[in-house]
Amino acid sequence: MTREQLEHAIRAACKVCKDSEIWIFGSQAIFGEFPNAPEALRASIEVDVQPKNRPDKLVAYREKDRDFVPVLLTEGMINAQIFLERICSLMIDDPLRERLVQWVQNTAEEL
């Protein structure tokens, strides 16, 4: 993947997620600091993104989310309390909201 391809993916992700800020994870994140990274470091054609301001995208509760949230909390990219407040404000059914809240609380406590 080239920097230009990554920028295209970022624009598309922002449009789909309706968020102007996203986090980039995985090998493609290197482009932020090293736009001309060696080809060996940018061999992947996939990019993992997470909308910064749309915690409702976590509702899917995918395996990637289970890996991603601990990183956000550990690295201080999001405060657990703020994250919980955002989850509580989602327009989702109560059982799912309760499950997400419990999961985030448990995850935060384990760190």
- Please tell me the predicted confidence (pLDDT) of residue 60: 47
**Rg for the chain, CA atoms, rounded:** 15
Residue type, 33: E
Q: pLDDT tens digit string along 54-108?
A: 766 654 455 566 777 787 788 787 888 988 988 888 777 898 889 889 988 998 9
Contact of 27 with 42, CB cutoff 8 Å: yes
Q: pLDDT tens digit string along 35-49?
A: 887 777 777 777 777
Cα–Cα distance measured from residue 30 to residue 71, given in angstroms and rounded to the nearest whole number = 17
Contact of 79 with 72, CB cutoff 8 Å: no
Tokens standing for 93? 């059914």
Give the predicted TM-score (pTM) of the model: 0.51
DSSP notation for 88-100 = HTSSS-HHHHHHH
Tally of CB atoms within 10 A around 87: 21
Q: Give the H or E element holding residue 50.
A: strand 48-51
- Please tell me the predicted confidence (pLDDT) of residue 56: 64
Residues, the chain: 111
Average pLDDT across the chain, whole number: 80
Percent of the chain with pLDDT over 90: 8
Beta bridge partners of 51: 22
- Please tell me the predicted confidence (pLDDT) of residue 105: 92
